[in-house]
Structure 1
Amino acid sequence: MKIKLLLALGLAALTTSLVQAQNIPLDAAVRTGKLPNGFTYYIRHNVEPKNRVVFYLANKVGSVLEADDQRGLAHFMEHMSFNGTAHFPKNELVNYLQKAGVRFGADINAYTGFDETVYQLPLPSDPEIVKNGLEIMHDWAHGATLETAEIDKERGVVLEEKRLGKGAADRMRTKYFPLILNNSRYASRVPIGTEEVLKNFKPEVIRRFYGDWYRPNLQALIVVGDVDVDQMEKTIKAKFADLKNPANARPRTKYTVPLTGKNQFIAVTDPEMTSTSAQVMIKQPELPLHTDAEYRTSIVRALYNDMLGGRYAELARQADPPYLNGGASIGGFLGGLDAYTISVTAKPGELEKGFKAAWRENDRAKRFGFTATELARAKAGYQNQLESALREKSKTPSSSYVSEYLQYFLHGTAAPGIDYEYKLVSSQLPGITLEELNTLAKTATKTTDRDILLLAPEKDKASLPAEAVFNKWIKEVEAENITAFKDEVSNESLLKKEPVAGTIISQSKDEKLGVTTLMLSNGIKVLLKPTDFKNDEVSFTAFAPGGTSLYSDAEYQSASAANIIPSYGAGNYNTTALSKYLSGKQMSVQLSIGERTQNINGGAVNKDLEGALQLMYAYVTEPRKDSVLFRGMITRSKAGLANRQNDPNSVFQDTISATLGNHSVRRTGPSVAKLDQVNLDRAYAIFKERFANLSGFTFVFVGSIDTVAIKPLLAKYIASLPVNGKTEPAKDLNINIPAGKIEKMVYKGTEQKATVNLVFSGPFDYNFENKLKMDALKETLQIRMLERLREDEGGVYSPGVRMATAKLPQGRFSTTITFGCSPQNVDKLIASALDEVEKIKTTGPSQLNVDKFKAETQRSIELALKTNGFWAGYLGGQLLNNENLHQIDDYIKQVNAITPADIKDAADKYLTGKNFIKLVLLPEAGK
């Protein structure tokens, strides 16, 4: 007996050993451990960004664990973690973090899903702040006070968050979720919960949920940043050891969506739905990502999705595209399942045509498979993405590591680190065969566990097919004589004509900014700012005055449509050929025409920088015109507008744009009549006019620039660009937010929800100092709106304040206060918002809120200054506005000099109420 038992144990150990040998190891650079109480931790030192640390508290606790009387309380509990904990009573947690420069919502945040609740906290790595950060994490783990008064205050906020989600999508989801989730527990446990529970639950019900599930054996702390790993581990062990599991802990059931083997069908309509769509979801067991073999399978899936996506993109580029959107892919679903989904958004009245086209493309791949050239492109793209990540290994942001370890803890998803992944992909990718992809294409569309979901406007209900009819469409396509896909690849060079290189005629250096300015032989100016923020990233932007302002209102639609010209390809490559040429390359280029400028934006890794500049040169000098694609675009655009008026938000946004734009044709919403005004020949001519002469253009390059290697490229591709010495300044169209007091009420939609926009506007004395004061006004006003409308009155979920200031064509400003709420609370909340505006005008903001603005601004700029995106935007913006490039030098000094009196004066000067527009969206029943 004893021998048999030992033998059995030995075999079990051997089996376990073999399984573990196949498992992908966790990244060795992360320190991980588990305390005796089951609390797990992951710690990694990382200095991107420097002097920062990111804390995440992950809980394997979500809405799926709620009892019937707790529906919505997993999410409600997330809210309560910010409303009173052991060391931060009431709202003191948010208050403390704001003083430390952490913004509520933008930085400090949390989310609740079906299976997890996750809290995030990025902090400066100052020792005292880190110490308090760990205190916050400990409180979040099991230190919420859950005071009855605070619970009751938060009900309104959560109900308003639920109200924001109401509408056609929510109403339709309620109908089809039980079917596609096979009547599993997930179908009745949407995280936002039910109104009945949220309004009426007793405090002891949420305390019961908290006591049952917020426990150390379901929790993990993830810490990545500029910290001492050894010291952090000691602190975590000491601090979190006191967390206790309940004496009789409830088992954490792992819920799933069962596979039934059945096929299902449902058609759902709604009056506010704007389009008709069809989805065929074929469910299957989830692909875990634990072993090398599973990782290899995930690569095969990614290649499959990439190749099939390319085919659907080609299908959309027809003169008469068969649908608005279509595609197919395999990916994650829910409850332990993945799904292969074929979807289509149909043109009005053309569901059969659109769906058959989508299914036909899927069936084509199933019958004939893919081509060798398609697979080669997909492999190259996959490999290049990974090589790029490997090059950026030392610049990987802490947030990326946190995301990996979060998925590792919650789902066991492998997180081996980029070195391991690169070796694995390099060894596996070459051996992936066309036969494997073709086998997947054949097996993906299995005939069981297939759900068909139709969503449509209510008015189209009678025309929707029954299940038998829809299945007949599938059979008809599968009986067709379909031909194999032909992958047409161009062997021509991109450019029809090579550029004749110019020269660099002068060079100067601003040592303080680290910016080198080059003057080229054709008069174009180039600024270079080498940085070490990324190991292999170069971004560039270019601009010149002009834009659509130079064209009359009668030509505006064509001038605006000129932005589509680059989508037709360039040089020798049409759109399809160019798409295949770019596949696998790490580069992008966009040319655009704005209202006051024409612009070039792009970026690349260093090895593809010449390719990006060559493509830019092709767009400028050899643009293409494609009447087939143009007709297809117009057809799709018109079809997309057919039911636009069904959507309350679209109607409201069109009203806002028209009102604030003083009803200029350049500001009113889209329409079929406007599309009819677009002339392809004129659009093409306008594009060429704006880019045929690059006199007055300035280029800014930022990133990992090799200043020696880049100069020949600048001479060849930028100094050769066409110029004639003439520049055209942009025209002042005088389209300003109208003066005076205006009120617009829009009645649209059936849900009891309202949206409010309050707009102050007028002339603005633009300078650097005044702009900063307006930024301070915006932020202090935002803080008060959050405190008053959300925390004090519980009437809104997420109030917002936007501030826009402009120097050109006129010094102007606009301040917009926005929020969603119950229709019956509109007048009350508007009064409260305007009361806060009056308070800031008469007494100014509190010193505390000014200090919060300064702390947030300082922390934000510290991070921004270490990004290529910031410098490209800053340098370009300063040059465009003819402002001093050195304004940034005194930015923090100027911010710190701002006083409550400065903000009061700005509010008093600009928020007078003389130019005030009130726009409100209300349900139709409110008329």
Structure 2
Amino acid sequence: MTKMLCGAACALVLLGTTTLASAAQPVPAPSGSAWMSGEGLRVDPELRLGTLPNGMRFVIRKGKTPPGQASLRLRIDTGSLNEAEDQRGLAHFLEHMVLNGTENVPEGDFVKRLERHGLRFGPDTNASTDFSQTVFKLDLPQTDKETLDEAFFLLREIAGRAKLDAAAIDRERGIVLSEERTRASPAFRQLTDELAWLFPGQLLPNRLPIGTTEVIRTAPPQRMIDFYRAWYRPERATLVVVGDIDPGEVERRIASQFGDWRGVGPAGTPADEGRPLTRASAASIYVDPSIAAMVRLAWVRPADTEPDSAARRVREFDEQIATAVLNRRLEKLAQGDGDPPFVSARMDVSEFENTAETSGLSAIARNGRWLSALRTLEQEQRRLVTYGVTADEIERETTGSRAALKASLAASATRSSPALAESVVAAIDGNNVATAPADRLALFESTVQGLTPQRVNAAIRRLFVGSGPLVYLTLPKPLPGGRPALLAAYEASRKVAVAAPVAQARVAWPYEKFGTPGAVVERREIADIGTTLVRFANGVRLTVRPSQTRKEEVLVNVRFGDGRLAMAPDRVSPEWALGPGLTFGGTTRLDADQINRSLTGKLVGANLGLDDERFVLSGGTRPEDLTTELQLLAAYMTDAAWRPLGWERLKSTAGSIHDRLESSPGGILQRDSGLLLRSGDRRWELPNRAAMRASSIADGRALLEPALRSGPVEVVMVGDISVERAIAEVAATFGALPPRAATRRSAGAMRFPAANAAPTILYHKGRDDQAVGFIAWPTTGYSAETRQLARTLTLLGSVFQLRLTDRLREAEGVSYSPGAGHAASSTWPTYGYLAAQIEAPPAKLDSFFAEAQEIAADLAAKPVDEDELNRARRPTLAAIERARDGNSFWLGALADVADKPLQLESIRTQQSDLKAVTPAQIQAAAKRFLTGPTAYRIKVVKGTPAPTGRSDGK
């Protein structure tokens, strides 16, 4: 069983994937589910489980969210832990190869065949390898016979028919090495070091799935063939099918397609993962200039291999409550007045396969104050062990858990097929039982009936046993005195007496009245998209779209002010800290912790973001809590306290933010591309270190307060809610506010940079072999006049992506994930660009630029063929169809629909416009925008910028 406990919220992660049944009344498992069982638990009756005569297992579940679609997962019960020393990385390499040439599918055709059925490589067609499993994933945009035939055929090709051709393996080596380069971040190196510290002498630290570059470069094909034959066998395979299908017909398909699969040669023997060493307290330090100061206390013990059962889950729930209480205390300290020692801190309990179980407390130190963070962690852990938890704390955590479990049950009928498929795979990987939401709630209720502080305190004692604590510290510079100094600091803290925790008073929610509910002065229906537009007397607008596609989900955006248009293009942008600056500061009547305590049991949220034209307060809730959700958002709009806590917390990480970005070429491109592609418009600039350190909450307040006080307001609401309820709730909150202005700022001009004959060079501090190339051509934005052209450019970008992948990934094996696409602005209707990007060794960048120009020239010289256009268009249309089934799409699409006729027209014509694009139109667009000396290029390579280059104010 795989376990991760980080509090009551994470308890629900476990319960959500391996849901619970009543411990009092064990229920027999349904027929065919004997391979998934646990005492006191029953398999979800919606699942159809079975085993073929060859040992292959399957799980089938009917679901209609989204309608007409299905998710398939082929799980192979092996991963990197089963590699021999000379096979390190081959489990992952093999994942690539089985998609790259089989008995009946030539090399390079696997993904193309799926694209013709509307699947995109990455989002819909993917695979993953971890320590214990390899999973192949297909999310089908339709479940017609032809698509299902293709999907089952291709999965059967993976299962036992891979060719593993030597030449194809050699071509793929560069792609896997590119993936290794992409992942080789300081965070990955630190994780590798920490695992080695926690589990010395065990297999796990030496079997990270990416493997070693030596094996990737040199492993002979036979070594991969040996791994494939040993582990890709029917008795180690499970096929999960969830979606709008006939379960009986799918079972017959599985039997027909996979029934003849037989293993070749001897089966593999699972590796001995080893056991944790018995150790007393010890310390270790990891030094990296790109890593923030972080301290961790860990207790390591053997993995709990007891089978899944109701009794085990009850014990784990007690531990989860204890963990949640401690995390709540740590968060309160992080939000405290004065100068908290850490930016964030939390406890987690994790099980690493069959290697070990750990309990750990970790904190990101504020301004490098690791010693204060260490003392606080140690003393809070000891306070918990010494004095335990209170009944009030237990009540708070169980109240929140109950609310989430009830919402999960109410929403279960519309849970998406991909999410259900992933949850079943997770249950199988953890040797857990996948059960129904109703059973999950039943066991919860029976568990909490007898939950006492004494029982939770007993769970606390179980959490802090084993070797340790093992003290682990990351620092950007070496620590004087080294490990002995770190261990001495820990021992000194242990000598400090701790007092019992101070009881927290209950907090009432004070934001229930905002004035006289507003009167509706305008209302109109847009029947074809099921949307109602409302304007209140104070100028506030409401756009509401009821939907039953996701039960128990209501999403809300409160759009106000002018977003980036309110910022000066020649001044440092405060966007980087705006969100936490507002929400972590709480309101004048409640600080952030008091808001959380007053809303215990409510499923609400508040976040602040922005786009080009509006600031956006957003939240998600269930119908039961919609009143409180709107009150919370209105409280932030009308009564923000501007406490500096959130801003200062983020500001204290300024150094680590830049260190992380500078550690990789992708980070540097992320940091600088927005500014460069807009000719130095500083609204897209991330402030340097000095500017971050010099900033304050006053910067955010000066920008936001006028918009919060009097700017235009539009409430967009989508989900499981009626129009009348939405109107009443908004009338009582935002409709009750003083009159709001309805003015809009002019966008001014936006310029794409001038073409550069030689690329702009940016420098990162990562590995020498890491580099990124980026090329972009100016196009146009999105307006009523350019709508169809913008759609054409979207498909041109998709075709460019296909060609880039064919050349640089499939044919040349240069890059793991070359990318291309088109971006068009509706705020600046003449601004847009088509861009292509690649991660590759530095020596390959010039050839990338040349090949990108060749692709551009070829697209301009002759029209694409229908097959290539369909491989670009069908996945795009399928993605749109899938998105339109959910609430998130409509939340964004309906923004400003009352004021912008183009927005409504865009919704109506999005699919038809794309269907109407012809090869000739794509060629014409390529000829217009991708020829001539207009391209702007960026290289990101290892090095140090010249003094005249971008300064980060170190």
- TM-score by length of structure 1 reads 0.92
Describe how 1:177-216 pairs up with structure 2 within 5 A: 177-216=195-234
Structure 1 residue 482 corresponds to structure 2 residue 501 = no
Task: Call closer, same or farther: CA 1:442–1:809 in 2, change over 3 Å.
Answer: same
Task: Call closer, same or farther: CA 1:475–1:720 in 2, change over 3 Å.
Answer: same
Structure 1 residue 451 corresponds to structure 2 residue 467 = no
Unmatched 5+ stretches in structure 1: 1-16
Q: What's the secondary structure of 1:816's corresponding residue?
A: strand
Compute the displacement of 1:83 (Å): 0.9
The one-letter code of the counterpart of 1:518 is V
Distance in 1 between residues matched to 2:630 and 2:893, nearest whole Å: 22
Q: Which residue is equivalent to 2:333?
A: 315
Q: Residue 524 of structure 2 is aligned with which of 508, 519, 527?
A: 508
The one-letter code of the counterpart of 1:782 is Q
Please, which moves more after superposition, 761-770 or 191-200?
A: 761-770
Compute the displacement of 1:599 (Å): 2.5
Q: Which residue is equivalent to 1:740?
A: 755
Task: Call closer, same or farther: CA 1:613–1:407 in 2, change over 3 Å.
Answer: closer
Q: Which residue is equivalent to 1:781?
A: 800
Q: Which residue is equivalent to 1:803?
A: 822
Distance in 2 between residues matched to 1:844 and 1:583, nearest whole Å: 60
Q: What's the secondary structure of 1:142's corresponding residue?
A: coil
Contact 1:63 1:113 in 2 (8 A): yes
Structure 1 residue 259 corresponds to structure 2 residue 276 = yes
Q: Which residue is equivalent to 2:365?
A: 346
Contact 2:573 2:682 in 1 (8 A): no
Contact 2:775 2:936 in 1 (8 A): yes
1:542-583 Cα deviation digits (max 9, x unpaired): 324523533546875568755422321125211110021233
Compute the displacement of 1:888 (Å): 2.8
Describe how 1:283-362 pairs up with structure 2 within 5 A: 283-287=300-304, 290-318=308-336, 319-347=338-366, 349-362=368-381
Contact 1:269 1:455 in 2 (8 A): yes
Distance in 1 between residues matched to 2:848 and 2:945, nearest whole Å: 17
Q: Residue 707 of structure 1 is aligned with which of 705, 718, 723?
A: 723
Q: Which residue is equivalent to 1:221?
A: 239
Task: Call closer, same or farther: CA 1:424–1:641 in 2, change over 3 Å.
Answer: closer
Compute the displacement of 1:350 (Å): 2.5
Please, which moves more after superposition, 649-658 or 503-512?
A: 649-658
Distance in 1 between residues matched to 2:702 and 2:853, nearest whole Å: 49
Distance in 2 between residues matched to 1:688 and 1:401, nearest whole Å: 43
Distance in 1 between residues matched to 2:570 and 2:706, nearest whole Å: 17
Distance in 2 between residues matched to 1:552 and 1:925, nearest whole Å: 30
1:619-658 Cα deviation digits (max 9, x unpaired): 122221325x267436624454685686344445434344
Contact 2:193 2:286 in 1 (8 A): no
Q: Residue 789 of structure 2 is aligned with which of 770, 775, 794?
A: 770
Compute the displacement of 1:783 (Å): 0.8
Describe how 1:747-758 pairs up with structure 2 within 5 A: 747-749=763-765, 750-758=767-775
Structure 1 residue 611 corresponds to structure 2 residue 628 = yes
Q: Which residue is equivalent to 1:363?
A: 382
Q: Which residue is equivalent to 1:836?
A: 855
Contact 1:760 1:911 in 2 (8 A): yes
The one-letter code of the counterpart of 2:133 is E
Structure 1 residue 132 corresponds to structure 2 residue 150 = yes
Contact 1:837 1:911 in 2 (8 A): yes
Unmatched 5+ stretches in structure 2: 1-33, 947-954
Q: Which residue is equivalent to 2:535?
A: 519
Task: Call closer, same or farther: CA 1:229–1:764 in 2, change over 3 Å.
Answer: closer
Structure 1 residue 547 corresponds to structure 2 residue 557 = no
Compute the displacement of 1:594 (Å): 4.7
Please, which moves more after superposition, 562-571 or 853-862?
A: 562-571
Distance in 2 between residues matched to 1:349 and 1:686, nearest whole Å: 30
Q: Which residue is equivalent to 1:729?
A: 744
Q: What's the secondary structure of 1:568's corresponding residue?
A: coil
Q: Which residue is equivalent to 2:950?
A: none
Distance in 2 between residues matched to 1:507 and 1:925, nearest whole Å: 59
Please, which moves more after superposition, 96-105 or 550-559?
A: 550-559
Q: Residue 713 of structure 2 is aligned with which of 697, 717, 738?
A: 697
Report the identity percentage: 23
Structure 1 residue 586 corresponds to structure 2 residue 603 = yes
Q: What's the secondary structure of 1:392's corresponding residue?
A: helix
Please, which moves more after superposition, 26-35 or 323-332?
A: 323-332
Q: Residue 544 of structure 2 is aligned with which of 510, 520, 528?
A: 528
Distance in 2 between residues matched to 1:728 and 1:674, nearest whole Å: 32
Distance in 1 between residues matched to 2:543 and 2:154, nearest whole Å: 45
Q: Which residue is equivalent to 1:8?
A: none
Task: Call closer, same or farther: CA 1:33–1:500 in 2, change over 3 Å.
Answer: same
Q: Which residue is equivalent to 2:423?
A: 404
- Regions of 4+ moved over 6 Å: none
1:765-809 Cα deviation digits (max 9, x unpaired): 633212211110111111111111100111111011132101213
Distance in 2 between residues matched to 1:597 and 1:765, nearest whole Å: 18
Q: Which residue is equivalent to 2:641?
A: 624
Q: What's the secondary structure of 2:735's corresponding residue?
A: coil
Q: What's the secondary structure of 1:463's corresponding residue?
A: coil
Contact 1:562 1:593 in 2 (8 A): no
Q: Which residue is equivalent to 2:870?
A: 851
Task: Call closer, same or farther: CA 1:886–1:558 in 2, change over 3 Å.
Answer: closer
Distance in 1 between residues matched to 2:610 and 2:649, nearest whole Å: 18
Q: Which residue is equivalent to 2:177?
A: 159
Q: What's the secondary structure of 2:652's corresponding residue?
A: helix
Q: What's the secondary structure of 2:467's corresponding residue?
A: coil
Task: Call closer, same or farther: CA 1:558–1:48 in 2, change over 3 Å.
Answer: closer
- How many residue pairs are counted as aligned between the two chains? 903
Distance in 1 between residues matched to 2:177 and 2:38, nearest whole Å: 50
Distance in 2 between residues matched to 1:334 and 1:20, nearest whole Å: 19
Give the aligned CA root-mean-square deviation in angstroms: 2.8
Distance in 1 between residues matched to 2:762 and 2:909, nearest whole Å: 45
Distance in 2 between residues matched to 1:562 and 1:343, nearest whole Å: 26
- TM-score by length of structure 2 reads 0.89
Distance in 2 between residues matched to 1:192 and 1:642, nearest whole Å: 26
Contact 2:759 2:938 in 1 (8 A): yes
Distance in 2 between residues matched to 1:558 and 1:408, nearest whole Å: 43
Distance in 1 between residues matched to 2:584 and 2:637, nearest whole Å: 13
Distance in 2 between residues matched to 1:633 and 1:450, nearest whole Å: 28
Q: Which residue is equivalent to 1:112?
A: 129
1:277-331 Cα deviation digits (max 9, x unpaired): 2222212243556100111122223322322222111111233121233222222
Q: What's the secondary structure of 1:324's corresponding residue?
A: strand
Distance in 2 between residues matched to 1:336 and 1:746, nearest whole Å: 43
Q: Which residue is equivalent to 2:8?
A: none
